[in-house]
Amino acid sequence: MKHIESESNASLKQWKKLHTKKEREKSGTYLIEGPHLIEEAIKSGAKLQHVIIEEHFELNESWLKEKFALWSVPSKLMKQLSETEKPQGIIAVCEMMDQNENLIKKNGRYLLIDGVQDPGNLGTIIRTADSAGLDGVFLGEGTADLYNGKTVRSTQGSLFHLPIVKADLLEIVQQCKEMNITVLSTSLQEAVDMRKAPEVEGFALIVGNEGAGVQEALQQESTMKVKIPIFGSAESLNVSVATGILLYELQRNRT
């Protein structure tokens, strides 16, 4: 274990740059914070390049089998590296996963995210897609960055549990249709009450931007438009909540 004491240490300066999307994309790495996320990363086989702990942090011994460089820093530097108000004493530099666009299989279950902008919403949606046992998530243009610290934290580790791929959603919709997978788009107009949607084994659900919803071109290419009934006076549901309700309704008889 090497110790860093100075703010001007080159490695520390490089890791702090990972707070920006530009540097994450350039380096192909991102930061994960806290023992829970690091445990999930290791369990899933994600590659950690560096693990940085605050002095006196008690490292899980089983992690020492992993091949990463281990560093310790004083509390003051940990605070600079952390993006949370209460750092948990451990941060890792993690390599981005390979993106495999050939995910679509017969009877697969997929979520297509069209321009969800809030990183907290995106992370929560990925956690929900994991809970709902989906086979993959596709992130369309205009969607928040998967590797943003807030997104990663909101997934609670689910980003390590299922394939998540940046993609052209119109292409994914075509691929799904070629595999006879029903493509459902959320919509407020001419949409069917989700409770009346037919039960299908495979499906691709498209959810959209917080304000504008799913873009028209994707709605038009979908097999069916669905909506959640509003029984009260709210204009709409939060997109993460709506995604959860729809994913469970579409699998109402799954065992």
Does 225 bind a copy of itself (CB under 8 A)? Our answer is: no
**Size, binding site for a copy of itself by CB under 8 A:** 39
Q: Does 114 bind a copy of itself (CB under 8 A)?
A: no
53 binds a copy of itself (CB under 8 A): no
Nearest 5°: CA angle at 120, between 114 and 125? 50
Calculate ∠ Cα 221-225-229, nearest 5°: 160
Answer yes or no: are the C-beta atoms of 93 and 50 closer than 8 Å.
Answer: yes
Residue 234 makes contact with a copy of itself by CB under 8 A: yes
Rule CB under 8 A: is residue 223 a binding residue for a copy of itself?
Answer: no
Q: Is 228 in the site for a copy of itself (CB under 8 A)?
A: yes
**Is 238 a residue that touches a copy of itself (CB under 8 A)?**
yes
Q: Which of 124, 143, 175, 209 binds a copy of itself (CB under 8 A)?
A: 124
Which residue lies nearer to a copy of itself by CB, 72 or 148?
148
- Is position 107 an interface residue for a copy of itself (rule: CB under 8 A)? no
Nearer to a copy of itself (CB atom), residue 45 or residue 232: 232
E strand or H helix that includes residue 53 = strand 48-54
The Cα–Cα gap between 208 and 187 comes to 9
Q: CB of 232: closest distance to a copy of itself in angstroms?
A: 4
CA distance 197 to 141: 27
What three-state secondary structure class fits 118? coil
Sign of CA dihedral 138, 143, 145, 151: negative
Q: How far apart are CA 20 and CA 110, in angstroms?
A: 29
Considering only residues 157 through 176, tell me which ones interact with a copy of itself, judged by CB under 8 A: 157-158, 161-162
Stretch touching a copy of itself by CB under 8 A, among 63-71, 81-89, 95-103, 232-240: 232-240
Q: Could you give the CA distance from residue 80 to residue 6 in angstroms, rounded to a whole number?
A: 12
Shortest Å, Cβ 196 to a copy of itself: 11
